[in-house]
């Protein structure tokens, strides 16, 4: 036990930084930015200053294991002690996935949680770092809170920190620092126990044990490694080696832990059997840096995140946790409308929210929705208040165990029943901020002139910048993305990413609905070719960015 009761805690004087405005999901910057004098301390103190109930509270603390995780945790522990926090629940080795933190906040009725992660952004000394605060419902802090933290960070003149030596992050147990208790717990146990309450583990075990079923999960050297080994291999009996790239490394193996067709190439190659072994696994999945994203694949088959949400919704009755039906479904505005068609058939409400998981929080708390998802490889439910990568994988495994069909057959049958929403996202990464702003200002200024114009036999029906009125607390969020909607339901959406750390990233989302089953076999880019052309033209992407093609296509 460490004792520090003799130490007098004096506030430390500091200079405010002017760039601590949280983006779509917390504050994300280069590691080197976070390593500047008092940078992390200023932001943490700004969070603490916005929490009136901080003194005497319990906080959950952990991160995705990336470079600077351990050092930051020691700093935050010392600051929490000096700010009067009563208890910190910390993941062993400083490790917690984002969904695990969300669950623990709820389980322990904590005031909130601090998650150290820049999600799917690369890690390491020259990579990114990030910090976000989740509130007592387990979800990301709403904009009102993050705006207040930003305002605080601009004014901050001092912070509180205890001059305390490091605590052993790797050894389970309870420690005391000054008046504060720190409980170091197993990072995986509680999360794995929660999953066992939601799914039919016996049926999944039987599926995995069957001779003709093989799965591959790519942890991308990030946080889901220990979670996936425990759940898929140790509990559900997948053979050793089913989880690949399972070590959680501080630089994520030098990769970009974003589960998509580009960055999860290793998994994609296995699932498409590029080495021609003749034995592609039946089911493949990957997760991201902090474990909240997921990509789903079958053998020789990729499931878009929008389709994945729709298929899970349509089959949710096969999963024990959702067998009594869904209350409603939420999706972010740029996500394809496939899930809306399922909601319509189930006669339940569907909600369209701005990008950002925080917008689902009120709908989940108010019991208006059970499932929600985003095109950005996020899917989740009311079991926690974050998107949850491994939960999505278990949904699919449970559905496969019940339906005893291949991933591809299930998706194709879904299209046959509901129609297919061809969907793609084109990202133009790291473009000069000024060019991105000019493109957007001009696009926005032209919106009024676009209504009624015809492109490739489609008439523009709506041209606006999406605003969202939260039906629960009536808060309004404006400027959430430019929407061009055509009379046949096709859509082109433009947004600037809120999670990048270099320049600006323009995201263009393109969707076209095709009911006719005879047209469900087209290549996605070909099916959307004319809309892609229109999208480039309407925003004059080449003119403003000098980019002739996107950096990433998903």
Q: Which residues are part of the catalytic machinery?
A: 119
Indicate which single residue of 378, 380, 389, 481 sits in contact with ligand G16 (rule: CB under 6 A): 378
Give whichever of 233 and 374 is closer to ligand G16, judged by the CB atom: 374
Give whichever of 340 and 374 is closer to ligand G16, judged by the CB atom: 374
The reply on whether position 292 binds ligand G16 by CB under 6 A is yes
> Tokens at residue 282, please?
């039946």
Give the H or E element holding residue 301: strand 301-303
The reply on whether position 374 binds ligand G16 by CB under 6 A is yes
Region class of 253: left (phi > 0), else alpha (psi between -120 and 50), else beta: left
Q: How far is the CB of 63 from ligand G16 (least distance, A)?
A: 13
> Tokens at residue 552, please?
């990433």
The reply on whether position 425 binds ligand G16 by CB under 6 A is no
The reply on whether position 119 binds ligand G16 by CB under 6 A is yes
Answer positive or negative: Cα dihedral of 141, 145, 147, 151: negative
Per DSSP (E only), the strands in 202-288 are 215-218, 243-244, 283-287
Indicate which single residue of 17, 20, 22, 25 sits in contact with ligand G16 (rule: CB under 6 A): 25
Residue with tokens 């919106």: 447
Indicate which single residue of 497, 524, 540, 551 sits in contact with ligand G16 (rule: CB under 6 A): 497
Task: Tell me how crowded residue 466 is: count the other CB atoms within 10 A of its CB.
Answer: 21
Question: What CA–CA distance (Å, rounded) separates 425 from 264?
Answer: 16
Question: What CA–CA distance (Å, rounded) separates 439 from 457?
Answer: 25
For the chain, helix, strand, coil in percent to 5 are 35, 25, 40
Binding region for ligand G16 (CB under 6 A) out of 43-51, 65-73, 82-90, 352-360 = 352-360
Indicate which single residue of 22, 356, 481, 550 sits in contact with ligand G16 (rule: CB under 6 A): 356
> Tokens at residue 57, please?
């509270």
Give whichever of 259 and 419 is closer to ligand G16, judged by the CB atom: 259
The reply on whether position 355 binds ligand G16 by CB under 6 A is yes
The reply on whether position 507 binds ligand G16 by CB under 6 A is yes
Q: Please provide residue 199's backbone torsions phi and psi, each rounded to the nearest 5 degrees.
A: -115, 165
Name every residue whose Cβ is closer than 8 Å to that of residue 1 and which is 6 or more positions away in sequence. Answer: 175, 176
Q: How far is the CB of 314 from ligand G16 (least distance, A)?
A: 22
Give whichever of 301 and 360 is closer to ligand G16, judged by the CB atom: 360
Binding mask 219-258 for ligand G16 (x = CB under 6 A): ----------------------------------------
Question: What CA–CA distance (Å, rounded) separates 168 from 166?
Answer: 7
Give whichever of 292 and 388 is closer to ligand G16, judged by the CB atom: 292
Cβ-in-10-Å burial (0-12, 13-18, 19+) of 98 comes to buried
Region class of 329: left (phi > 0), else alpha (psi between -120 and 50), else beta: beta
The reply on whether position 138 binds ligand G16 by CB under 6 A is no
Count the site residues for ligand G16 by CB under 6 A: 17
Residue 6 near residue 178 (C-beta atoms within 8 A): no
Helices (H) and strands (E) in the chain, counts: 18, 27
Q: How far is the CB of 398 from ligand G16 (least distance, A)?
A: 23
Name every residue whose Cβ is closer than 8 Å to that of residue 523 and which is 6 or more positions away in sequence. Answer: none
Binding region for ligand G16 (CB under 6 A) out of 229-237, 404-412, 494-502, 513-521 = 494-502
Give whichever of 120 and 491 is closer to ligand G16, judged by the CB atom: 120
Binding mask 293-312 for ligand G16 (x = CB under 6 A): x-------------------
List the end-to-end C-alpha distance of the chain, in Å, as a whole number: 51
Q: How far is the CB of 335 from ligand G16 (least distance, A)?
A: 9
Indicate which single residue of 78, 120, 414, 483 sits in contact with ligand G16 (rule: CB under 6 A): 120
Give whichever of 57 and 499 is closer to ligand G16, judged by the CB atom: 499
Report the interface residues with ligand G16, using CB under 6 A: 24-25, 119-120, 288, 292-293, 355-357, 374, 376, 378, 497-499, 507
């Amino acid at each position: 036990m460490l004792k520090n009761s003799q130490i007098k805690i004096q506030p430390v004087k500091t200079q405010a930084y002017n760039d601590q405005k949280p983006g779509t999901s917390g504050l994300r910057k280069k590691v080197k930015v976070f390593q500047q004098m008092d940078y992390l301390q200023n932001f943490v103190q700004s969070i603490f200053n916005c929490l009136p109930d901080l003194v005497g509270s319990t906080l959950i603390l952990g991160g995705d294991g990336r470079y600077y995780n351990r050092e930051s945790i020691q700093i935050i522990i010392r600051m929490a002690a000096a700010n009067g926090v009563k208890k910190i629940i910390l993941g062993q080795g400083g490790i917690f996935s984002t969904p695990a933190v969300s669950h623990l906040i709820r389980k322990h009725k904590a005031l909130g949680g601090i998650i150290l992660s820049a999600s799917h952004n690369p890690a390491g000394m020259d990579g990114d770092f990030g910090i976000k605060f989740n509130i007592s419902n387990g979800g990301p802090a709403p904009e009102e809170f993050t705006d207040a933290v930003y305002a605080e960070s601009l004014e901050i003149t001092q912070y509180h920190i205890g001059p305390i030596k490091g605590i052993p992050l790797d050894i389970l147990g309870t420690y005391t620092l000054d008046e504060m208790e720190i409980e170091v717990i197993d990072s995986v146990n509680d999360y794995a126990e929660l999953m066992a309450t939601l799914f039919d583990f016996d049926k999944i075990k039987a599926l995995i044990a069957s001779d003709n079923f093989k799965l591959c999960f790519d942890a991308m050297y990030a946080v889901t490694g220990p979670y996936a080994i425990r759940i898929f291999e140790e509990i559900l009996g997948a053979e050793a080696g089913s989880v690949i790239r399972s070590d959680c490394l501080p630089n994520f193996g030098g990769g970009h832990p974003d589960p998509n067709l580009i960055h999860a190439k290793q998994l994609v190659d296995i699932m498409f059997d590029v080495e021609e072994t003749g034995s592609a696994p039946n089911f493949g999945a990957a997760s991201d840096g902090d474990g909240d994203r997921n990509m789903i694949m079958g053998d020789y088959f990729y499931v878009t995140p929008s389709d994945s949400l729709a298929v899970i919704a349509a089959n949710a009755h096969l999963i024990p946790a959702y067998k009594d039906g869904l209350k409603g479904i939420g999706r972010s505005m740029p996500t394809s409308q496939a899930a809306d068609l399922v909601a319509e058939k189930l006669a339940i409400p569907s909600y369209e929210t701005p990008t950002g998981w925080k917008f689902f929080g009120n709908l989940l708390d108010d019991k208006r929705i059970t499932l929600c998802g985003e095109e950005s490889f996020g899917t989740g439910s009311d079991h926690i208040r974050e998107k949850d990568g491994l939960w999505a994988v278990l949904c699919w495994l449970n559905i496969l165990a019940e339906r005893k069909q291949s991933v591809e057959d299930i998706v194709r049958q879904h299209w046959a029943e509901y129609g297919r929403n061809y969907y793609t996202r084109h990202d133009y990464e790291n473009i000069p901020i000024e060019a991105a702003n000019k493109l957007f200002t001009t696009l926005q200024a032209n919106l009024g002139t676009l209504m009624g114009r015809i492109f490739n036999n489609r008439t523009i029906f709506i041209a606006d910048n999406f605003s969202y009125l939260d039906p629960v607390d009536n808060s309004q969020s404006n400027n959430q993305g430019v929407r061009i909607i055509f009379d046949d339901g096709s859509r082109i959406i433009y947004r600037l990413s809120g999670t990048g750390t270099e320049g600006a990233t323009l995201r263009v989302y393109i969707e076209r609905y095709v009911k006719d089953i005879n047209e469900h076999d087209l290549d996605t880019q070909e099916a959307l070719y004319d809309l892609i052309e229109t999208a480039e033209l309407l925003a004059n992407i080449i003119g403003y960015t000098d980019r002739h093609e996107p950096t990433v296509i998903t």
